[in-house]
Structure 1
């Protein structure tokens, strides 16, 4: 089991908790309502891949298995007590790396209210303080202005560019790479988010 997992995190109206089977109805409703908005950013299986699109139950089962093995932390985002999206810590590496990556998506109905920057800040703080990780990376398509804005608000610097990095929305897509280490935010990400220089 990952150090620091399971966990529940909260700041104001934004709460994060382990994604659960009981989220199925709300998850499906949010994904259905946001299908067109999320499709350009959703991972897809490349040609020749033998994976079928996962059902929600299969998704939760896989994420929970990864969490038990210490490879991830799948958080559901609740806003005012209602399911609104996910932040998932992926590819946790221990040993000399102490590294992980983060992916996220959000219900469009609550976008623009600072929910995702808050959620990502809470998760990064948890990764550094409770899970003992040293570095967090976020990879974003260059066209995804909403996700890029999250990095801007959090003051997470761009460190590179990965051509044809992931299969997204039916094709191999380039990604911009952002990363932060624990030394870069001794005050914590949530505190950094409230600083005027990162607004």
Structure 2
């Protein structure tokens, strides 16, 4: 399945994307590590990427997680990833969104485009009601991505995620399916 925007397309990651995903993570290690929980020792190996993608396929089949690659429309190159994590059904009908983009493509609106495609998938295909995100307050670029995609600030989660050995606050943002429908 592929969802296409003006400049990027997203599709579920496949095991054949493992090498490209590894290159993305190795080339952006310093940037991604600033805003992510500490990665295990084997994170930067091809085997780890293959296993991660294989696990995500199983989680998608179980309706727990949907992991997409972000691909540049012009070249077909993998330039990032976006995922719907912690999918809850029943009275919640929600998920958490997370994303990362190769630093050389930052500032072009590509992440916003990929996030918007993922939100549309979540509301139209998965019929979710709510998508949440947590962003370190110092990560203003990520905050702009979410706001441009229609997310609204809800509050601060105090010391919610341990990043680089330190408990960090996160700005919680969310978008509701009704909100998205009203904007269109």
**TM-score, normalised by the number of residues in structure 1:** 0.83
Task: Let me know the Cα RMSD of the aligned residues.
Answer: 1.7
* Equivalences for residues 16-35 of structure 1 within 5 A: 16-35=10-29
Match of 1:73 among 66, 71, 79: 66
1:42 Cα deviation from its structure 2 partner: 1.9
Match of 1:137 among 127, 132, 135: 132
Match of 2:98 in 1: 103
* Equivalences for residues 1-199 of structure 1 within 5 A: 7-44=1-38, 53-54=42-43, 55-79=48-72, 80=74, 81-186=76-181
**CA distance in 2: counterparts of 1:30 and 1:63, whole angstroms:** 17
**CA distance in 2: counterparts of 1:60 and 1:170, whole angstroms:** 26
Does the Cα contact within 8 Å between 2:88 and 2:95 map onto a contact in 1? yes
Question: What are the Cα deviations for residues 132-170 of structure 1, in whole angstroms up to 9, with x where unaligned?
Answer: 100110111111111011123223111121112122233
More helix by share: 2
Secondary structure of 1:186's match?
A: helix
Question: What are the Cα deviations for residues 30-89 of structure 1, in whole angstroms up to 9, with x where unaligned?
Answer: 2222111211012226xxxxx764411221122122111110100000012110010010
Q: How many residues align?
A: 178
Q: Unaligned regions of 5+ residues in structure 2, if any?
A: none
Secondary structure of 1:37's match?
A: helix
Does the Cα contact within 8 Å between 2:150 and 2:175 map onto a contact in 1? no
Match of 1:197 in 2: none
**TM-score, normalised by the number of residues in structure 2:** 0.90
**CA distance in 2: counterparts of 1:156 and 1:16, whole angstroms:** 20
